[in-house]
């Protein structure tokens, strides 16, 4: 059984102080913002396993937020307290169990339920209650589908919540224990120091070599040890009771010292730190530098200042010298290594660490064989031995040697060796300065390689290179010329060294050439690029493309110009031919009798119109500005846009380079025109050959020629219509009927529906022709065609086979009843007389009907069509033999219609002119 929870301090019942106490209890655990312990992760994982759900979380609630300290099955995050499901109930002290939170009115609009933060359905949580009854959060399990937990599972969840609180309590007590232990340790140390302070003070005063003194509030000396006597020259008896200022403070510092001391007595604030170096004065007036440590003490209502003083005059001087020397050594770019007379390393600067890879601790006391070759070590050892024996030695001049790095690699250095002397002038060691020369050696090698590369490039360069002097006795002359320049100018290299640029430049181009060179030499431009003519040794003129740059000396003064020149005589001729070709293309493009358009194929201009001619503007009714930049598919009739896009795709993908297509285009006035478009792909390589302007700088393009074939297309459509339609009634003829029936039978073969075929032959038509003439007969046929058409469904086909014979194809019929219904409507359409200009005439119709089944498309389709037509024709003749003006179905029995004659009257005279048959049931 789950034990009853402790009494809960609820902020809603107990007011704001209870919430403050709850938050205090939460913060005592020091878990907000800290990563969860592994034990807490285990408890949350156990909660998910006990509940049999994929999600569990340990939630802590402070005044503003819900902190998900540990989670299972999802990534935890902080959220606002008002969005928390747990915050609604965690202070109640009860385990909450919701089989489906989406139907609970308290929770269904919560962000964790309605999808804003999650879609929680099954939900259960146990509150985290501290021993003092404060609710700090909850242990929750949930699922995204509805479910239900057993009482045992809920008890286990509450037990795990108590485990979490127990872990929090253990953390709180551990934190308290650490704090108490630290405070106890500090108290013990303080007591120990206090108990030993007196004894230590007496020992220090007696044994220290530092002066020790004390002064009272009036700056009278109250303590003065033996070291103070030796340091300042005043005996203890003389010093006690004297003023501190008149005893040891230099006159220049007296006013500052007195002001600072009085300020300290008034405010307790001191200007000096605990240890400081200050000037002091001896009894004989000489000054010294002392290290002063002061301690203010207040005891028994009196304030004193105790001071420990150390003479640091000599130390300051030596330290200053050492600092200067150390600064020089430490900041030196060269490695500086000191050794004693035995050759052991005694000092090692930062540059040496970087050069050899060892730090000072690793090499101090080691021999030089760690970093130098054995031969070098022996030479230095012999030098040190002579010096140690008292022999006069000089330093060793710089020489290049190979040392050894810590990683075993060679270190190329230049070393100098200088003796180190003691105060008596004896040699006590040596100082070795080593400079890394690897960069210098690499630079020298690189220079040699660069000179070699320059020589090869200069000699074998495909373009001409001329070096021209700017100063000295050869100013203005060519210093050097490579073979390409010699070949271009027709002079040998030796001959060019006696010439200037003016000697080989065309006279008409010389002023411009000299001006451009001056601009480079005077620094107005870093280089110059232009074309000019040269006169060869044989008198021929060649065009050169020139690039001029300047070479300076180390002081920045111009030394010589470097001129790169390339023979562009043929290139200029090509440009001229290209310009003429472009002009011819533009003329042909603009005046062509067919529409022409250039369309882009690149990423930026795919299918965009780049150029058009006047004929295309006339064809589309759009101006040049309206066409440029437009998608070429916008010109096509909307019904053909998809086909146009598919047709262009192979060109955009590079699969086709040529093609032709007929399609409809929409004119600006709304009319539709037919165009025959011939498409040719152009690349940057082929377009200039065709003379397309600017094509050498563009991406791939399409050249489209659009011929207006509207008239031809209209003629073709008219001929096609004539070939497939009856000239009198405009109905499909036998050929088109045959095609429609074939398609209907094939469709029926797939769908299983039936296809109706009706043969209709007019009764009494000959009498109309004989009595009223063929014109009246033609008029009657047109009227009959109209009446028959009104009886049919959309999708049915009515055809005239010739004379007074009609046929109907009815696809997608469910059965014979549907076919009979259509036949009856045809029969009924002629019950009323046909009123013509020549009079009113009564005609009937004999209808033969046949319901055909579907057939597969193929070689047998024609036979199936012929058979269906034959069956309908047979049924029609059966209707004729049965008395006319009736319907007969193929394979039916005796006729079910009977006929009755009636007179056809001419309305004007009232005389009978023909006989007809009226159908009756």
pLDDT tens per residue across span 755-785: 999 999 999 999 898 899 999 999 999 999 9
Residue 347 reports pLDDT greater than 60: yes
The whole-number average pLDDT for the span 532-538 is 92
Written as six digits, the tokens of 737 are: 């009927």
Backbone angles phi, psi at 900, to 5 degrees: -140, 130
Backbone angles phi, psi at 589, to 5 degrees: -65, -50
Residue 687 reports pLDDT greater than 60: no
- Residue 204's pLDDT is what? 59
CA dist 713 and 717 (Å) reads: 6
The whole-number average pLDDT for the span 882-907 is 55
- Residue 271's pLDDT is what? 56
Highest mean pLDDT among 201-215, 311-325, 645-659: 645-659
Residue 299 reports pLDDT greater than 70: no
- Residue 912's pLDDT is what? 40
Backbone angles phi, psi at 140, to 5 degrees: -115, 145
CA dist 66 and 59 (Å) reads: 6
- Contact criterion met (CB below 8 Å) for 61 and 86: yes
The whole-number average pLDDT for the span 881-888 is 93
CA dist 512 and 509 (Å) reads: 6
Backbone angles phi, psi at 812, to 5 degrees: 60, 50
**What is the SS3 assignment for 560-579?**
EEEEEEEECHHHHHHHHHHH
Find the Cα–Cα–Cα–Cα dihedral 740, 742, 747, 753, rounded to 10°: 90
- Contact criterion met (CB below 8 Å) for 26 and 134: yes
DSSP H or E segment with residue 748? helix 734-751
The whole-number average pLDDT for the span 807-831 is 94
Helices (H), ranges, 418-475: 438-460
Written as six digits, the tokens of 637 are: 């009739």
Q: Which residues make Cβ contacts (< 8 Å) with residue 475, sequence separation at least 6?
A: 469
Residue 554 reports pLDDT greater than 50: yes
- Contact criterion met (CB below 8 Å) for 47 and 157: yes
The whole-number average pLDDT for the span 430-458 is 81
Written as six digits, the tokens of 246 are: 């008149």
Choice between 297 and 807, residue whose per-residue pLDDT is larger: 807
- Residue 196's pLDDT is what? 61
pLDDT band for 903, please (50, 70, 90 cuts): very low
pLDDT band for 605, please (50, 70, 90 cuts): confident
- Residue 850's pLDDT is what? 95
57: which DSSP letter?
A: E
Nearest residue to 758 via CA among 862, 846, 855: 846
- Contact criterion met (CB below 8 Å) for 115 and 154: no
Largest Cα separation within the chain, whole Å, is: 179
Nearest residue to 590 via CA among 691, 502, 669, 675: 691
CA dist 637 and 677 (Å) reads: 14
Residue 749 reports pLDDT greater than 60: yes
610: which DSSP letter?
A: E
**Average predicted confidence (pLDDT) for the chain:** 83
- Residue 902's pLDDT is what? 33
Written as six digits, the tokens of 108 are: 């269904």
CA angle 824–827–828, rounded 5-degree value: 85
- Residue 163's pLDDT is what? 92
Choice between 514 and 207, residue whose per-residue pLDDT is larger: 514
The whole-number average pLDDT for the span 717-721 is 80
Backbone angles phi, psi at 221, to 5 degrees: -70, 125
- Contact criterion met (CB below 8 Å) for 43 and 59: no
CA dist 428 and 418 (Å) reads: 11
CA dist 766 and 779 (Å) reads: 13
State the DSSP string of 505-534: B-TTTHHHHHHHHHHHHTTSSS-EEEEEEE
The whole-number average pLDDT for the span 361-382 is 84
- Contact criterion met (CB below 8 Å) for 807 and 760: yes
The whole-number average pLDDT for the span 60-78 is 90
Residue 674 reports pLDDT greater than 70: yes
pLDDT band for 433, please (50, 70, 90 cuts): confident
pLDDT band for 917, please (50, 70, 90 cuts): very low
Written as six digits, the tokens of 441 are: 């050696």
For residue 251, CA distances in Å to 235, 244, 563 come to 21, 12, 79
- Residue 101's pLDDT is what? 92
pLDDT band for 114, please (50, 70, 90 cuts): very high
Residue 214 reports pLDDT greater than 60: yes
Query: The pTM is what?
Result: 0.33
The whole-number average pLDDT for the span 518-536 is 90
- Residue 722's pLDDT is what? 76
Phi-psi region of 893 (alpha: psi -120 to 50; beta: other; left: phi over 0): beta
The whole-number average pLDDT for the span 365-391 is 81
Written as six digits, the tokens of 221 are: 């000396």
Residue 921 reports pLDDT greater than 60: no
Nearest residue to 216 via CA among 104, 130, 305: 305
The whole-number average pLDDT for the span 517-536 is 90
- Contact criterion met (CB below 8 Å) for 31 and 168: yes
Choice between 860 and 73, residue whose per-residue pLDDT is larger: 73
Choice between 385 and 529, residue whose per-residue pLDDT is larger: 529
Domains of the chain as residue ranges with CATH: 17-177 (3.30.450.40), 208-311 (3.30.450.20), 339-441 (3.30.450.20), 478-515+528-573 (3.30.450.20), 592-688+697-714 (3.30.450.20), 725-889 (3.30.70.270)
Q: Is the dihedral of CA 665, 666, 669, 672 positive or negative?
A: positive
Choice between 43 and 424, residue whose per-residue pLDDT is larger: 43
- Residue 698's pLDDT is what? 59
Other CB atoms within 10 Å distance of the CB of residue 641: 16
The whole-number average pLDDT for the span 157-167 is 92
Choice between 172 and 901, residue whose per-residue pLDDT is larger: 172
């Amino acid at each position: 059984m789950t034990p009853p929870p402790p009494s809960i301090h609820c902020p809603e019942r107990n007011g704001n102080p209870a919430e403050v106490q709850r938050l205090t209890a939460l913060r005592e655990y020091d878990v907000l913002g800290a990563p969860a312990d592994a034990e807490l992760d285990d408890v949350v994982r156990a909660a998910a396993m006990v509940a049999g759900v994929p999600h569990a979380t340990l939630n802590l609630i402070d005044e503003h937020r819900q902190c998900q300290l540990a989670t299972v099955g999802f990534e935890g995050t902080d959220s606002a307290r008002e969005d928390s499901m747990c915050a609604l109930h965690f202070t109640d002290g009860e385990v909450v169990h919701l089989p489906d939170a989406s139907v609970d009115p308290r929770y269904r609009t919560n962000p964790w339920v309605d999808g804003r933060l999650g879609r929680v359905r099954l939900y259960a949580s146990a509150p985290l209650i501290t021993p003092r009854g404060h609710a700090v959060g909850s242990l929750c399990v949930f699922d995204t589908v509805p479910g239900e937990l057993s009482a045992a599972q809920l008890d286990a969840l509450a037990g795990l919540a108590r485990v979490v609180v127990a872990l929090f309590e253990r953390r709180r007590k551990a934190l308290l224990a650490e704090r108490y232990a630290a405070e106890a340790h500090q108290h013990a140390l303080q007591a120990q120091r206090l108990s030993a302070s007196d004894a230590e003070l007496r020992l220090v005063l007696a044994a220290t070599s530092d002066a020790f003194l004390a002064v009272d509030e009036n700056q009278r000396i109250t303590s003065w040890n033996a070291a103070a006597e030796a340091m300042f020259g005043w005996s203890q008896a003389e010093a006690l009771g004297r003023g501190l200022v008149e005893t040891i403070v230099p006159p220049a510092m007296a006013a500052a010292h007195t002001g600072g001391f009085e300020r300290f007595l008034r405010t307790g604030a001191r200007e000096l730190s605990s240890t400081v170096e200050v000037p002091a004065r001896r009894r004989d007036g000489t000054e010294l530098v002392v290290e002063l440590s002061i301690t203010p003490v207040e005891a028994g209502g009196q304030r004193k200042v105790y001071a420990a003083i150390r003479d640091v005059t000599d130390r300051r001087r030596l330290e200053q010298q050492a600092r200067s020397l150390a600064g020089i050594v430490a900041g030196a770019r060269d490695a500086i290594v000191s050794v004693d007379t035995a050759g052991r390393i005694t000092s090692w600067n930062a540059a040496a660490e970087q050069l050899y890879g060892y730090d000072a601790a690793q090499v101090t006391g080691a021999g030089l064989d760690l970093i130098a070759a054995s031969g070098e070590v022996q030479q230095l050892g012999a030098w040190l031995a002579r010096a140690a024996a008292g022999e006069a030695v000089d330093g060793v001049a710089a020489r290049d040697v190979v040392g050894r790095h810590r990683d075993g690699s060679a270190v190329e250095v230049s070393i100098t060796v200088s003796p180190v002397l003691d105060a008596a002038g004896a040699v006590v060691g040596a100082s070795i300065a080593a400079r890394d020369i690897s960069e210098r050696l690499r630079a020298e090698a690189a220079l040699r390689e660069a000179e070699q590369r320059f020589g090869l490039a200069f000699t074998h360069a495909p373009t001409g290179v001329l070096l021209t002097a700017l100063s000295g006795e050869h100013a203005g002359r060519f210093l050097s010329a490579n073979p390409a320049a010699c070949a271009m100018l027709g002079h040998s290299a030796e001959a060019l060294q006696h010439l200037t640029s003016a000697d080989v430049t065309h006279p008409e181009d010389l002023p411009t050439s000299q001006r451009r060179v001056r601009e480079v030499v005077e620094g107005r431009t870093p280089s110059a690029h232009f074309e000019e003519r040269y006169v060869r040794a044989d008198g021929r003129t060649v065009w050169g493309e020139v690039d001029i740059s300047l070479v300076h000396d180390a002081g920045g003064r111009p030394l010589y110009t470097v001129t790169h020149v390339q023979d562009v005589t043929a290139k200029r001729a090509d440009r001229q031919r290209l310009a003429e070709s472009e002009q011819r293309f533009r003329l042909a493009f603009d005046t062509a009798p067919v529409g022409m358009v250039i369309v882009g194929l690149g990423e930026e201009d795919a299918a965009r119109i780049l150029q058009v001619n006047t004929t295309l503007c006339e064809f589309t009714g759009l101006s040049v500005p309206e066409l440029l930049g437009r998608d070429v598919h916008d010109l096509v009739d909307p019904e053909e846009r998809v086909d146009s896009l598919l047709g262009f795709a192979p060109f955009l993908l590079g699969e086709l380079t040529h093609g032709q297509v007929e399609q409809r285009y929409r004119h600006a006035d709304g009319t539709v025109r037919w165009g025959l478009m011939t498409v040719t792909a152009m690349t940057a390589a082929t377009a200039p050959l065709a003379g397309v302007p600017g094509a050498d700088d563009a991406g791939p393009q399409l050249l489209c020629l659009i011929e207006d074939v509207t008239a031809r297309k209209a003629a073709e459509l008219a001929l096609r219509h004539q070939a497939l339609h009856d000239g009198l009634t405009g109905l499909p003829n036998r050929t088109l009927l045959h095609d429609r029936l074939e398609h209907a039978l094939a469709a029926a073969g797939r769908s299983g529906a039936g296809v109706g075929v009706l043969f209709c032959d007019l009764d009494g038509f000959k009498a109309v022709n004989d009595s009223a003439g063929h014109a009246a007969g033609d008029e009657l046929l047109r009227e009959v065609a109209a009446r028959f058409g009104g009886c049919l469904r959309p999708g049915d086909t009515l055809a005239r086979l010739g004379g007074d014979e009609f046929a109907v194809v009815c696809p997608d019929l469910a059965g014979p009843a549907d076919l009979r219904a259509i036949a009856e409507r045809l029969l009924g359409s002629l019950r009323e007389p046909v009123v013509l200009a020549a009079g009113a005439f009564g005609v009937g119709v004999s209808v033969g009907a046949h319901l055909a089944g579907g057939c597969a498309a193929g070689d047998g389709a024609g036979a199936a069509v012929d058979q269906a037509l034959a069956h309908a024709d047979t049924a029609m003749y059966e209707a004729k033999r049965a008395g006319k003006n009736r319907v007969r179905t193929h394979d039916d029995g005796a006729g079910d219609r009977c006929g009755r004659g009636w007179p056809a009257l001419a309305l004007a005279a009232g005389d009978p002119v023909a006989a007809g048959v009226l159908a009756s049931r």
